[in-house]
Every structure is written in structure tokens, then in C-alpha cells.
């Protein structure tokens, strides 16, 4: 039986926990509230880079870690996006697209696990999409007018990567490429 609580999985879970201070900072007015929100959000982004690196470096790669890492990403990003939508900083269509894509990927991953006993890992287009989404969210809550053109570029780039990564994940589901077996 593999360990569930490793340094990497704790880092993954911390991304979910960090939603609360980000939301608090965004929804309450106090000096530098958006900078504080950005600091907490960037701490979450840092854990996303660290957890996989540390899992490999410390030989703590687990099936649970392969599952919780992308789930934590999806929950954290969706949580912040919902707050930004409520603040009217993110359009509803974007929020719906982002959540729908993540639900489809999650359901496909559960299907693959149940039917083939295989844990599908994140792929590069998916990681790029999540990072572009994160950048778009940061640009949305910092609300710097001189970066609006860049923010819109990142918005559409993230949409393109979300759709591309969904196609790649769908190929896994229907064709079975790039899937890692639970049994090695």
C-alpha cells in the first residue's frame, strides 16, 4: 500500500486551502488587498511547480499524487475564477468553459481508471493551459489598465490551450495514447 501523505501531496492540498485567503483578500477592501491576493495565489502556483519536482526528486511519486495534483489545480483555479466572476472580473462564458473542460477531463480520467485500471497523468498542453488560466486570473484581479491588451491575449491563448488540451485528453480516452498503468 502506498503512502498518501507525502510532502508533494501536502503541497497539492495546500493549493485548495489557499483559495480561502485569496478569496478573502479579493472580497474585502483593505490596503494592498489585491497584492496580498496575488501573493497567496502565486504561493499556490509555486506549490504546483514544487509538488511534482519534489515527488520525483524524493522518489515519492504515487498514484494518489497523480490524481490529487490535477484535482487540486482544478479546484483552486475554479475557486479563484468563481470569486473573480462574482467581482465581474471574469466573464461567465470563460468560467463555464473552464469548469466544463475540467469536469470532462475528470470524468474521462475516472472512466479510464475504472475500465482499464490506469491513472491518466496530466499532459503538457494541460499544464500550459492551467498556467495560462492562472496568468489570466492574476491579470484579472490585479486589474492593471496598461496590461489590458496583454490580459486579453492571455485570455484567448488560454481558451485555445484549454480546447487543445481537451482534444489531447479525449485522444487518451478514445485511443488510449500516453496513459500510465497503475501496475507499471
Q: What is the pLDDT of residues 108-145, one digit of tens each?
A: 878 877 887 777 667 788 889 988 999 999 999 888 89
Question: For residue 29, what is its C-alpha cell?
Answer: 477592501
pLDDT for residue 2: 62
pTM score of the predicted model? 0.84
Alpha-carbon distance of 163 to 181, in angstroms, equals 25
CB-based contacts of 178, cutoff 8 Å, min separation 6? 121, 123, 172
Q: Where are the beta strands (DSSP E) in 17-174?
A: 118-119
CATH class of domain segment(s) 7-181: mainly alpha
User: pLDDT per residue over 64-98, tens digit each?
Assistant: 888 888 889 889 999 999 999 999 999 999 999 99
Alpha-carbon distance of 153 to 151, in angstroms, equals 5
Confidence of residue 182 (pLDDT cuts 50, 70, 90): very low
**Spatial contact of 131 and 137, defined as CB atoms under 8 Å apart:** no
- Report CA torsion sign: 44, 49, 52, 54: negative
What does the domain layout of the chain look like in residue ranges? 7-181
User: pLDDT per residue over 26-55, tens digit each?
Assistant: 999 999 999 999 999 999 989 988 988 888
pLDDT for residue 180: 44
**Spatial contact of 15 and 47, defined as CB atoms under 8 Å apart:** yes
Amino acid at each position: 500500500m502506498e503512502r498518501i501523505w507525502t510532502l508533494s501531496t501536502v503541497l497539492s492540498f495546500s493549493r485548495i486551502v489557499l483559495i480561502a485567503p485569496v478569496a478573502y483578500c479579493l472580497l474585502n477592501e483593505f490596503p494592498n488587498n489585491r497584492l496580498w491576493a496575488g501573493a497567496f495565489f502565486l504561493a499556490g502556483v509555486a506549490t504546483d511547480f514544487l509538488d511534482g519536482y519534489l515527488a520525483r526528486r524524493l522518489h515519492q511519486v504515487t498514484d494518489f499524487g497523480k490524481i490529487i495534483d490535477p484535482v487540486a489545480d482544478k479546484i483552486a483555479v475554479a475557486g479563484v475564477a468563481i470569486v473573480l466572476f462574482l467581482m465581474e472580473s471574469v466573464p461567465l462564458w470563460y468560467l463555464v468553459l473552464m469548469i466544463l473542460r475540467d469536469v470532462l477531463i475528470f470524468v474521462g480520467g475516472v472512466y479510464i481508471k475504472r475500465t482499464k485500471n490506469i491513472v491518466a497523468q496530466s499532459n503538457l498542453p494541460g499544464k500550459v493551459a492551467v498556467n495560462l488560466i492562472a496568468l489570466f486570473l492574476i491579470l484579472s484581479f490585479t486589474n492593471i489598465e496598461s496590461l489590458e491588451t496583454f490580459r486579453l491575449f492571455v485570455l484567448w491563448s488560454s481558451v485555445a490551450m484549454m480546447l487543445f488540451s481537451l482534444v489531447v485528453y479525449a485522444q487518451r480516452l478514445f485511443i488510449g495514447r500516453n496513459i500510465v498503468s497503475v501496475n507499471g
